[in-house]
Amino acid sequence: MRKNVRYIALTALVISAFVLSGCDMFRKTNDGKVDLKWYMGLTYEDDNGKDVNYTTKSGDSVVAVALEDKYSEQYGIMKDADVFVSIDMVKDNIDPRFYYDKSNGSLMFTNATTSYEMPLNENVIDKEKVNYTTCIKENKKCYINIETVKKFVDINYKLTKAEGDAPAILSITYKSGKKNIMTTDSNIEMRTKGDYQNLIVKEISKGTKVTVIESGKNWDKVRTENGYIGYIPVSELNDSGTQEVSFKNDDDTYTHVTLDTKVSLAWNQIYNQNANNNFDELTANVKGVNVISPTWFSLVDKNGNLSSLADLNYVEKAHKKGMQVWALVNDFTDRKLTKKVLTSTALRKKFINNIMYFADSYELDGVNIDFEYITEEIIDDYLQFLRELSIECRAAKKVLSVDNYAPSKWSAYYDRKQQIKLVDYLIIMNYDEHTSASDEAGSVSSMSYAQNSIKDTLEETGNSDRVINGMPFYTRIWETKSEEDGNADGSGKLIEDAANGNYYLSSKAVGMNAAKKEYKAAGVKPAFDETTGQNFVTYTKGSSTFMIWLEDETSVKSRLELMNKYKLGGAAYWSLGQEEDGIWKTISEYFK
């Protein structure tokens, strides 16, 4: 009996050791195989909740697309001997510079110096014949021949033909870096997840080389050369070393026209031609500014024409003062015009030619693009516009700067990472934290708001020396009045406040001197507000309460400190004429 007890105890000990060591002696194994079409993204769920295979209208076969570490959610198309992939998949994963012009049915690829055009269903690139169809249209979407992608972008690809239940797989690699290569130690099943209870993807033969996508304690996520992605036990893999993979890129061809020092830019709001005559008066006390940006040009019609308030005498005066002139081009006339022009390659070309004509005619040093009607629907068209304009500016050695809203959830689609590659300077319009449409009174740009906008921009662009922090020379005078006291002039917005009672809120934008005049007339002195990092005043007049978060020497200095802290490419000021004279002394100390 004692021997039996010892035997049982020993057996339990051995079993425990096997379990603790991860031994598979007692594992439960799922022998089922996954539906590969479903697994590789070639099915969709219909209205009845049933998985249905994707098909093409033309009857061509669909192909699974294996990317570096996942299957694309967008299938490829096998047409005769060619494989076509979705332009959206290419833009999102491989290279964003492909562009499809719906207005003329052509594919474009634009690099630092050239735009290439490829009509649908033809074997032509910029009127030169190639031995394959460059692109096709399927379900209203553009599909690019993988050979077209390879012509413009350094990639490797391999097509594995369909066999049995396995669909055809297009395997694409395009990322440079160190790859951890393993070799299977025996014949082993690849599974959908790191557990024997998960379904089998494929039987992998002994000696097969795989690339590790994700390392785990017991299972590694791996990818085979022919595009099978799944999990294999670590115990079944032998380390075959690290492989350095290098794909060429053309980043060094994106040269930039930049100043030798930090940019100190003042926007000059020009309402009419006569306003140019105020240059001498407006700049009489200006110090520390090396760029002036007059708001001269507007997109004015559906043909890509510009309205102009340009003045050559203004440019000559600015140059004599040591200022470059980067004239501003806006799209404020009509948001419909913005969409109309940007979505057409022909109209974009006319528009860009007009911009460059004025830039040459008025001896401009650069242009400042201030487009504020860019919706998510036309962001691809806007970026293509910047690509094409950047080619012309680069060739003419004109500075191209572009204004951007402070980063937020609603402007995330602006793709600042692409913008910074294309343009010479990206300017953050780091204001309008609170506007006339706001439901609460507040600062135009509190220091925390300004700092977060800078940090978010740098995180997205990965660049600081070509990012410029735009700051306000204006503020808002806020007025609140109780609901009982009424809203006689109709300017107030009714704000519901259960705790303190409903009230009307209104505001007006004013320059620094106008704000100072207001609070001095009220007989109050500013106090520093720790929350916003600004001087603040509040006072009552009749039944109204007024609040002003001041833009002054204190706020300007703080914003310039942020410029230095984050090693930015400079600062910009909206706008000339709204400042108090003492500001220039503060600014000049940062731009010596």
- Domain count within the chain: 4
373 and 457 part of one domain: yes
281 and 427 part of one domain: yes
Does some domain include residue 10?
A: no
State yes or no: cis peptide before 106, omega within 30 of 0. no
70 and 219 part of one domain: no
Q: DSSP per residue over 496-540, as a string?
A: --TTT--EEEEEEEEEHHHHHHHHHHTT---EEETTTTEEEEEEE
| Both tokens assigned to 264 | 């100190």
325 and 443 part of one domain: yes
pLDDT in tens, 83-93: 999 999 999 99
* Domain containing residue 445: CATH number: 3.20.20.80
The residue among 146, 170, 194 that closes a domain is 170
- pLDDT confidence band for 228 (50 / 70 / 90): very high
501 and 463 part of one domain: no
Instruction: Please determine, for residue 100, whether its predicted confidence score (pLDDT) is greater than 60.
Output: yes
Does some domain include residue 7?
A: no
428 contacts 419 by C-beta, under 8 angstroms? no
278 and 409 part of one domain: yes
Computed on alpha carbons and rounded to an integer, the radius of gyration of the chain in Å comes to 31
Residues in the chain: 592
Does some domain include residue 27?
A: no
Q: Which residues contact 99 (CB under 8 A, 6 or more apart)?
A: 107, 108, 109, 110, 380, 384, 387
Instruction: Please determine, for residue 13, whether its predicted confidence score (pLDDT) is greater than 90.
Output: no
Q: Residues of 457-489 as b/e, b for ≥16 C-beta within 10 angstroms?
A: bbebbebeebbbbbbbbbbbbbbbbeeeeeeee
Q: Averaged over 543-552, what is the pLDDT? A: 98
Does some domain include residue 293?
A: yes
Euclidean distance between CA atoms 132 and 108, whole angstroms: 16
Does some domain include residue 97?
A: yes
371 and 442 part of one domain: yes
Does some domain include residue 281?
A: yes
- pLDDT confidence band for 22 (50 / 70 / 90): very low
pLDDT at residue 27, as a whole number: 64
450 and 486 part of one domain: no
What pTM value is reported for the model? 0.93
Does some domain include residue 129?
A: yes
Q: Can you state the angle between helices 335-342 and 345-361, rounded to 10 degrees? A: 100
Does some domain include residue 141?
A: yes
50 and 77 part of one domain: yes
239 and 328 part of one domain: no
pLDDT in tens, 287-300: 999 999 999 999 99
534 and 408 part of one domain: no
The residue among 142, 170, 198 that closes a domain is 170
Least confident of 17-26, 165-174, 182-191: 17-26
Mean of the per-residue pLDDT values of the chain: 95
Instruction: Please determine, for residue 430, whether its predicted confidence score (pLDDT) is greater than 60.
Output: yes
The residue among 186, 214, 245 that closes a domain is 245
Instruction: Please determine, for residue 3, whether its predicted confidence score (pLDDT) is greater than 50.
Output: no
pLDDT at residue 303, as a whole number: 97
pLDDT in tens, 116-150: 999 999 999 999 999 999 999 999 999 999 999 99
* Domain containing residue 215: CATH number: 2.30.30.40
Q: Which domain holds residue 480?
A: 474-550
489 and 460 part of one domain: no
pLDDT at residue 400, as a whole number: 99
